[in-house]
A and B are shown apart, each in its own frame.
Chain A
Amino acid sequence: MSKYIFRPANVNDVDFLVNTIIEAEKSGSEIFSYSKVFNLSEEEVAAIFKEMFLEEIDGCEFSISNYMVAEFENKVVAAIGAWVEDKENPSSKIKSNLLGYYLPKESILFASQASKVTSELIIIHPPGALSLVMVYVSPDHRGNNLIDLLTKEHIKKNQGITDLAVQVMANNIPAIRAYNKIGFETAQIVKSEDEKILNFLPGNEKLLMKKKLN
C-alpha cells in the first residue's frame, strides 16, 4: 500500500483522465453514453474530451483541477474527480458549454432525440456536499482501497466538508458494494420505464449514495 503516491492531477494525466470518464460512464458495461447520445465513435469522443480538459476550465468533470490521482511505480493507476457544487455556477452548465463548444453541430442535433429519455435519470449534485463524480481504478489495482484513499485526499483538499455524495448506475453492483464498504448509503433512486433509455445509457436506474463524515 505504501507504494502508492496520491497527488492532484496535472496536464500530463489528461489521457488517463479521459479514460477515467469513459470507463466511469460505461459503468462496467460496454455502453458508452457519449458515443450513443452524440453518435460518435469512442475515439472521436476521447479526442474531444482531451481538448476540453486542455481548456483547463474549473468546475466540472472536464476540469483537471477537480481530480486526485494515485500513482504506482511512476504510472497513474486510479483517479477520482470530485467537487463541491456551486449553486450559482452549476457544473452541468460548465460541462454543457464545453461540450457544446467542441462537439460537431450534427452531434448536438442528434442528441435531441436522447434528451427527453435521458432526462429522467438526472440527479442534481447535492449543494454543499463533496460529490465524487468520476471514479476509476485500473483493473490490476482494484481491491487495494484506492477509492477510499483518494476520497480522503479530496476531503483533505475540501476542509470542513461534512457530506459526501456519489451517483452510480443501479446495475453496477461492484461499485455499489465498494461504496457501501466505505460507508455510503443509498439516499435516492431514479428510474426510467422508457425502454429507449437503454439505447443511450448502460442502465435505466440510478442511485444517489451519501455518506456523513464524523
Chain B
Amino acid sequence: MKLIFEKSVKARDGYSLPKDLFDEVNTKDCIPEYAVSDSKKVLSEVSEVDVIRHFTKLSKFNYGVDDGLYPLGSCTMKYNPKVTEKLASLDNFIYAHPLAPEETVQGCLELMYDLNKLLCEVTGVDQYTMAPAAGAHGELTGVLIMRQHFVDHDDKRHKLLVPDSAHGTNPASATMGGFKMIELKSNERGTVDIRRLEELMDEDTAGLMLNDPNTVGLYDEGMQDIESIVHGKGGLLYYDGANLNASFEIVRPGDAGFDIVHLNLHKTFSTPHGGGGPGSGIIGVKEFLIPYLPTPIVAFDGEKYYFSDVGEKSIGRVRAFWGNFLVLIKSYAWILSMGPDGLRNVSETSVINANYVLAKLKKYYRPAYDRYCGHECVLTGRDYKKYGIKTLDIAKRLMDYGFHPPTIYFPHFEPYAEETIMVEPPESESKEVIDEFIDAMIKISNEAKTNPDLLTGAPHNTRIRRVDDVLAVKRPILNYGDELKLKDELKYKDEDINF
C-alpha cells in the first residue's frame, strides 16, 4: 500500500486551527536563537479526506476479534464489549488531568478504589497497584517488590526460579529486576518437577514465577508441594496472570499460596489489545508486601477518596501518574456486567472449549501432553515434519480458511513441546465457530499429506502473501527515509506499492 508520504501533495492540509494565532507575540521573544530549528520539519501534506481513506484502507488489511476466531494461546483474545468502550470515553474521564485537585477527580479515584476491592476478592490478595501498563511491566514491578522485600529483611537472595514453560517476559523481567534467572525444567507431565524444585530452591533463591494453569495449559497438581517448598525456604511465589481465564471462582491464586499476583486486564478482563496495546498488567499482593508497592495507592476516609503514599519502603514509581486509567474503566465495567455467575461461566466455558478442541484434534496433531487441559491446549505439528511441513505452514494455511492462527512455537521445550500449536478458544467463541476451526485443522492435516505445496505456499487468499522476514533483518529499512536512500536498489514497480 502507498505510504501516507506518497500521498502527500504540496500545499494540501488536513488541520483546523483557531484564526487567532497570537501573531502580535514575536516568535523571537518565545524561542531563543540557540533553539530555533534549522529548517521546518517535513511531515506530510494531506487532507482529512485523504487521512480517513488512508487509515480506513490500512484497517482493512488487519484481522481483529470482530472478524472471527483469534485462538492465540496465552493471549486470551476474547470479545471486547462495545459498551465499555463508550464508558471509557466519557468526557469526565478523558478530559481529567492526572494532577487535577483530588476533589475534582473523586469519580476516577472511586473507580480505582472499587476495582481494587473487586479484584482482591476475585484473586484472594489484599491490595493492587494499578500502575503497571502491561504484563511485562507488572512482572518487573512484582520482581522489584520481591527484591525490595528481601533487601528490607537484609536477605541477600540473588536467584529467581522460572520454569522452562514460562513466557519470554518472565526470564527477562527476572534479569531486569536484578536476579539471576534459574530455569526450572518441567517434568514428563508438563508441570513443575517437584524433585528438581526441592534441589534448586535454596536460601539464595527469592522464589518462583509461575503460571497456573501453566503455559502448556495444565493446572499444576503439585501446587501444594510447590507452595510448601518455596515458602519453606523463605521464598515468595509470583503468579503470572496470563492464564487466569481458567480460574474464576475455581481457584484464587491468593488461596493457592501466591504472594504476588499479576493480572492482564487486556486478556482476562476483556479490554482490547489494540494491535499490541495499551493493556494493563496490574499487581496485587498479600498484606505483608503492601509496604513495597509502587506509590501511591487510592484510599478512602469514609467521605473522600485520596492518594495515599505507600511509604519509604515502596519500590518507587514505575511510570508517570497512576495507571492506564481508561483500561481500568473497561475491566471494571466488565466485572459488573458478569457478576459471580458470569465469571464462573467464563472459566467453565473456556476450559470446556479448550478440552473440546483437544479431544477433537488430538488424533491429527499429537498433543504435547495428552491430559485434560485448562483454558488452552497445546497440540504439535511434529508428525508433519516428514512431509516437509513446518508448523508455520499449518498456521499460514489456516489464514486461507479465514482464521487467525493459534500461537505457534511457544512454549518450546524438547522432547514434548516442539513444533507447538497453542490453541486458546475463549468463552466468547461459540461451538459452531470452534467446529469450523476444527474442520479446517482436519482439512489442513490431510492437505499436508496429499498436497504439501498448498501449505508451504500459504497463505493464498489473504491480501498479501507470505512475508520475507529474513530480508527485513538483512537490509534494515526502518523508516521511509531509509527507503528513499535505497531507491535505486529497491526499484519498486507501481504494482509493488499500489495495491
User: Do A and B associate with each other?
Assistant: no
Q: Which residues on A are within 8 Å of B, measured CB to CB? A: none
Q: Which residues on B are within 8 Å of A, measured CB to CB? A: none
